[in-house]
């Protein structure tokens, strides 16, 4: 790269200012994991204390009924690094992750499961990968210790998702992930969308990477994954595809459905009208007339729904839906309203 000495010095100074991660928030959603929480806390604490950065552990109780909520509260009372969020009932993993991310204060947010299958010792490798300039680092359980009823649906789900969303990941469904603060705050999770966070962020322009992680057998409890979740996951794939591709332009989606129907319906009606004008026989008793009217009306209605969706989208559009700012450089006297980044 051929640059001036002044610019070379600026590049060196900029690289020097980029230090390691200073604050880490570990978000752990749990449901009926009373037998694992204390051990998990010990392992996370040992890892983060050894790494050096300031840290916090956010335990999100998603409606536990086995006493796990009491253990979490006891951990918070004995360790100032632990914070607990307790739901009134079971709202699902996406809601638990959303609550934990919203409460997180760290520069980096790590999410992991509470079943001891994820090894907290891997956190250092996640942080190192983020320091390379990535916004999201997803774990890849290369060697899994799960029953076939869990691994097979997961493999099908992962392959379909990777191909549909053009994300070069082997294990998009892995719950062990690390996010930069800005990437995590960009997420709007509901339903089962927590399983698609790399795809959602990749579609928004964030840099996504993957590292192989160690996977341990489940020591306590039962897996909550299976064929039913695979079926739900397939439906969620359609939802995410629509969100990532047509959220800002819903009329395009509805036009793909409604316009062909409208055109075919008009073609049928035009053909029959020509027959009637040329006095080539009655058309009122022809099924093609009813089909043409049905297609025309349905196509018009679908396009109308698309127009309404477009108006609603325009009325509720926020700046963060238009673009994602990577970084800002330099100083400006412009008004804060012009240069301030809009946060969700």
**Mean pLDDT of all residues belonging to the chain:** 80
Give the three-class secondary structure for 194. helix
- CB–CB of 212/142 below 8 Å? yes
- CB count, 10 Å around CB of 50? 10
Q: What is the pLDDT of residue 164?
A: 75
- From CA 72, how far away is CA 86, in angstroms rounded? 9
Q: What is the pLDDT of residue 223?
A: 58
Residues of the chain with pLDDT under 70: 1-3, 8-21, 144-151, 153, 218-234, 247, 313-344
- CB–CB of 110/126 below 8 Å? yes
Q: What is the pLDDT of residue 20?
A: 56
Summarised one tens digit per residue, pLDDT across range 278-334 is: 888 788 888 899 999 999 999 999 999 988 887 776 666 554 444 444 444 444 333
For residue 194, give both structure tokens. Answer: 């927590």
Question: CB burial class (10 A; 0-12, 13-18, 19+) of residue 75?
Answer: buried
- From CA 330, how far away is CA 12, in angstroms rounded? 16
Judging by DSSP bridges, how do beta strands 108-111 and 23-30 pair with one another?
parallel
Q: What is the pLDDT of residue 277?
A: 86
Residue whose entry in the numeric block shows the structure tokens 């994820």: 118
Q: What's the full length of the chain, in residues? A: 344
- CB count, 10 Å around CB of 151? 14
> DSSP code of 118?
B
Judging by DSSP bridges, how do beta strands 136-141 and 177-180 pair with one another?
antiparallel
- CB–CB of 256/287 below 8 Å? no
Q: What is the pLDDT of residue 226?
A: 53
Question: CB burial class (10 A; 0-12, 13-18, 19+) of residue 231?
Answer: exposed
Q: What is the pLDDT of residue 343?
A: 39
Q: What is the pLDDT of residue 328?
A: 43
What is the radius of gyration, based on Cα positions, of the chain? 26
Q: What is the pLDDT of residue 332?
A: 35
Closest CA to 112 of 63, 34, 41: 41
Q: What is the pLDDT of residue 15?
A: 54
For residue 96, give both structure tokens. Answer: 């638990």
Kindly report the CA angle at 137 between 131 and 141, in degrees rounded to 5?
A: 135
Q: Where are the alpha helices (DSSP H) in the chain?
A: 5-17, 37-51, 68-78, 93-103, 123-130, 148-165, 181-186, 197-203, 227-246, 250-277, 287-316, 336-339
């Amino acid at each position: 790269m051929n640059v001036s000495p002044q610019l070379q010095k600026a590049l060196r100074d900029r690289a020097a200012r980029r230090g390691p991660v200073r604050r880490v928030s570990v978000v752990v959603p749990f449901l009926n994991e009373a037998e694992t929480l204390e051990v998990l806390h010990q392992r996370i604490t040992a890892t983060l204390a050894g790494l050096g950065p300031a840290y916090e552990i956010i335990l999100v109780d998603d409606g536990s009924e086995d006493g796990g909520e009491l253990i979490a509260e006891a951990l918070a009372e004995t360790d100032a690094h632990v914070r607990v969020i307790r739901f009134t009932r079971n709202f699902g993993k996406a809601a638990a992750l959303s609550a934990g991310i919203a409460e997180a204060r760290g520069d980096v947010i790590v999410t992991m499961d509470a079943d001891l299958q994820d090894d907290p010792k891997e956190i250092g490798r996640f942080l190192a990968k983020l320091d390379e300039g990535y916004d999201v680092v997803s774990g890849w359980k290369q060697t899994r210790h799960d029953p076939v009823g869990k691994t097979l649906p997961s493999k099908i789900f992962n392959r379909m998702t990777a191909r549909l969303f053009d994300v070069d990941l082997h294990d998009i469904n892995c719950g062990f992930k690390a996010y930069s603060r800005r990437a995590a705050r960009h997420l709007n999770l509901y339903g089962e969308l927590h399983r698609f966070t790399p795809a959602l962020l990749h579609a928004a322009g964030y840099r996504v990477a993957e590292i192989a992680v160690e996977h341990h057998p489940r020591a306590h409890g039962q897996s909550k994954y299976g064929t039913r979740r695979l079926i739900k996951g397939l439906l969620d794939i359609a939802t995410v595809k629509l969100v990532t591709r047509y959220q800002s332009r819903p009329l395009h989606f509805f036009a793909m459905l409604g316009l062909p129907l409208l055109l075919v319906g008009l073609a049928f009606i035009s053909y029959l009208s020509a027959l009637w004008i040329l006095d080539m026989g009655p058309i009122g008793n022809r099924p093609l007339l009813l089909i043409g009217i049905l297609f025309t009306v349905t196509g018009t209605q679908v396009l109308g729904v698309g127009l309404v969706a477009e108006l609603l989208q325009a009325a509720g559009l926020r700046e963060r839906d238009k673009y994602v700012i990577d970084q800002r450089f330099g100083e400006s006297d412009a008004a804060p309203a012009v240069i301030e980044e809009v946060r969700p």
